[in-house]
Amino acid sequence: MSGTPVRTVAPEVRLLLAITGLLLPRSLRRDWMREWMAEFLQGFGAERKRALARAAGAIADSWTLLQIHGWRQRLAELARSRATPAVFSALALATAAWSTHGFQSARSFLSRPASDRVVLLMQPIPFMGKSARLPLAQIALWRRESSAIEALGVWNVERESSQGRPIRVLKASPAARRLLAESPIRPQYDVVQMEEDYAPRFAGVIVKLRPGATSSQIEAEFSATAKLQKNWRVPGVAPLVAVAEAPLLPVGIVLAALLLATLVSIRTASAPAFLCAMAGPCLCLATITAVWLEAVARTPVTETGQVPLFWYALLYFFPIATAALAMWLFRRSAAHRCRTCFQPLLSAVLVGMEGRCLFEPGGSEHLCAEGHGALVVGHAAQNESDKEWISWSHTWA
Ligand SMILES: [Zn+2]
C-alpha cells in the first residue's frame, strides 16, 4: 500500500466521458478516453464542480476530433447502428431521472396513502359580471349546521407584484394551510402569507370530512342552505385524490395499447434483433410515462376545484401525442431494418422484368448489407400490404 491517497474519477464524469466517447469512431475512442481519464486522475479528485467544468472541455475536444474525422460520416454510422434507438431512449430516461431527482414527486405521489376524505368544493366560475361562487356567509352557515365536517379551511391565490415581478400569494386560513400541506395536489403559488383570521368575500374551500361522510350528504346539506338566499347555490364536491388521479386510468390504457400495438407489429427473426427492436419502444415509453407521472404528481388545483387548462393539455394530450409519434417512428424505423441483424436496409433496387415495368410493375427490393435477406415492396410482394420480407439461407450470406 502506498501512502498517497487513491484518486478516483467521479461517476458522473465517467458517465459523461463514456457518452461523449460514443460520438467518436472506435478507432479514436480508446486513446481519447485514456488521455482524458489520466487527466482527471491527476488533476481533480474530490472537486466535483471543477471536474465537471473540465469534463465539459472533453465534449468540446471530442467535437474538434469529430470535425477532423468527418462528423457527417460518423453521424451516418451512428444512425445505422442497431442499438441507436435504444441508446437514445435510455439517455432520455437517464436525463429525465437526473433532472427530477429520480422522479421524486411521482414516487411520493404513488406511494402516498390515498385519502378521499379531503375534498374541495367545486364552485361555478363567475360569469357575465355575476359572481356565482359561494359566499362565505353560506360556508359559515354550512359549517355551523353540518355534521360532515372534521376541518374546514378557506384559501385564495392572489396575484400581486413584488419588486416589479408578478408573484402568486397563497392566502389561507390555518386549517386550509394544514389541509393543503397534507393534500396530494396543491395550488400553484410563490409565497404563503400567514393570515390568522382570513375572511375574503369568496374563496376556495377545502374540507376534511368525518369518516363515513359522503358527498351526497354534503350536497343535501348545501341544498338546505341554498334555499335561504337567492344567490346561494349547491356546489359540487371533488375529492382531491380523484382530481389528481383522473388522468391515470384513461391515459395509462392508451399508452399501454400503443406500446402493445408497436411491439406486436415489429417482426424480427433473431434474438439480438428482437432485443434491439423491443428495447427502444419500451425505454421510450417508460420515459414518457415517468415524465407524465411526474407531471400528474405536480398538478395544481384552482380555488374552484378545477385543474388549470394548460395542465389538461399536459396531462392528457402531451403523453398520448408524444407516445403515438414515438411509436410510429419506431415502427417506421423497424420496418426498414433487417430482421436478422436489425441494421438499416440498403436503398431500393428495382425488380421485375426489364421493359415491362409499365404494365407489369415489379416493385423494389431493399437488401440487407450483410446478406440476411430483402424487403420486397410493391406488386412483386405476395401479400396484401405489398411488403414482404424474404430471408435468405446462410449459404447466400
Ligand atoms: Zn441483416
Crossing angle of the two packed helices 26-43 and 11-23, in degrees rounded to 10: 160
Q: Which of 216, 241, 266 is the last residue of a domain?
A: 241
Give the Å distance between the CA of 259 and the centre of ligand 1.
25
397 belongs to a structural domain:
no
96 belongs to a structural domain:
no
57 belongs to a structural domain:
yes
Q: Look at residue 383 in the predicted model and tell me its pLDDT.
A: 60
277 belongs to a structural domain:
yes
Q: Look at residue 5 in the predicted model and tell me its pLDDT.
A: 54
Q: Per the structure block, which three cell numbers stand in for 10?
A: 467521479
Q: Look at residue 357 in the predicted model and tell me its pLDDT.
A: 53
Give the Å distance between the CA of 82 and the centre of ligand 1.
10
Q: Are residue 194 and residue 144 in the same domain, yes or no?
A: yes
Q: Are residue 202 and residue 299 in the same domain, yes or no?
A: no
102 belongs to a structural domain:
no
> Which stretches in the chain have pLDDT values below 50?
1-3, 396-397
Give the Å distance between the CA of 99 and the centre of ligand 1.
38
Q: Look at residue 396 in the predicted model and tell me its pLDDT.
A: 46
Name all contacts of 308-317 with Cβ < 8 Å and 24+ positions apart.
308/188, 315/247, 315/251, 316/247, 316/250, 316/251
Give the Å distance between the CA of 343 and the centre of ligand 1.
6
Q: Look at residue 191 in the predicted model and tell me its pLDDT.
A: 86
Q: Per the structure block, which three cell numbers stand in for 12?
A: 458522473
Give the Å distance between the CA of 367 and the centre of ligand 1.
8
Give the Å distance between the CA of 392 and the centre of ligand 1.
10
| C-beta of residue 178 within 8 angstroms of C-beta of residue 265 | no
Alpha-carbon 195 to chain mean position: 37
Structure letter (DSSP) for residue 375: E
Domains contained in the chain, number: 4
Q: Look at residue 287 in the predicted model and tell me its pLDDT.
A: 93
Q: Look at residue 1 in the predicted model and tell me its pLDDT.
A: 44
Give the Å distance between the CA of 273 and the centre of ligand 1.
9
Q: Are residue 257 and residue 234 in the same domain, yes or no?
A: no
Q: Look at residue 381 in the predicted model and tell me its pLDDT.
A: 62
Q: Look at residue 218 in the predicted model and tell me its pLDDT.
A: 86
Give the Å distance between the CA of 329 and the centre of ligand 1.
20
Give the Å distance between the CA of 339 and the centre of ligand 1.
6
Give the Å distance between the CA of 325 and the centre of ligand 1.
26
Place of cell 395542465: 311
342 belongs to a structural domain:
no
| C-beta of residue 335 within 8 angstroms of C-beta of residue 387 | yes
Q: Look at residue 285 in the predicted model and tell me its pLDDT.
A: 94
Give the Å distance between the CA of 370 and the centre of ligand 1.
5
Q: Look at residue 262 in the predicted model and tell me its pLDDT.
A: 93
Going from the C-alpha of 253 to that of each of 47, 54, 278, 289, the distances in angstroms are 47, 45, 19, 11
Q: Look at residue 362 in the predicted model and tell me its pLDDT.
A: 67
Q: Are residue 384 and residue 355 in the same domain, yes or no?
A: yes
Structure letter (DSSP) for residue 169: E
Q: Look at residue 44 in the predicted model and tell me its pLDDT.
A: 57
Q: Tell me which residue range forms the domain holding 185.
A: 118-241
Residues with CB under 5 A from ligand 1 (ion): 338, 340-341, 368, 370, 372
Q: Element (H or E) spanning 191, and its range?
A: strand 191-194
Q: Are residue 229 and residue 151 in the same domain, yes or no?
A: yes
| C-beta of residue 240 within 8 angstroms of C-beta of residue 120 | yes
Give the Å distance between the CA of 162 and the centre of ligand 1.
64
Q: Are residue 184 and residue 213 in the same domain, yes or no?
A: yes
Q: Which of 241, 265, 300 is the last residue of a domain?
A: 241
